[in-house]
């Protein structure tokens, strides 16, 4: 696995990786992680194209997913206390 880029963001750690013919877009916030895998064959513009996908609507959606992940984890912990 090769790190292609660390992409700055004020709240989310974003890493673009290349591995096994795929780009992996890894986003981390606290203890939570989201990974998006895309075949390199589907990306004509290489890693620079993938970086353009990190627009405001995509990142807002990712933040919403992080909140849903946290809510889901806390809910199951509460049910099993």
Q: pLDDT for 55-78, tens place per residue? A: 999 999 999 999 999 999 999 999
Alpha helices in the chain (DSSP H): 46-52, 56-79
Question: H helices then E strands: how many in the chain?
Answer: 2, 4
* The model scores a pTM over 0.75: yes
Q: Which long-range contacts (CB under 8 A, 24 or more apart) does 24-28 make?
A: 25/50, 25/53, 25/54, 27/62
Q: Which two tokens stand for residue 2?
A: 């090769």
Q: pLDDT for 28-47, tens place per residue? A: 999 999 999 999 999 999 99
């Amino acid at each position: 696995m090769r790190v292609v880029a660390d992409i700055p963001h004020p709240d989310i750690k974003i890493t673009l990786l290349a591995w096994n013919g795929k780009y992996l877009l890894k986003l981390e916030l606290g203890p939570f992680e989201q990974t998006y895998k895309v075949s390199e064959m589907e990306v004509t513009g290489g890693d620079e194209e993938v970086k353009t996908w990190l627009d405001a609507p995509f990142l807002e959606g990712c933040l919403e997913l992080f909140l849903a992940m946290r809510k889901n984890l806390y809910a199951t912990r509460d049910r099993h206390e």
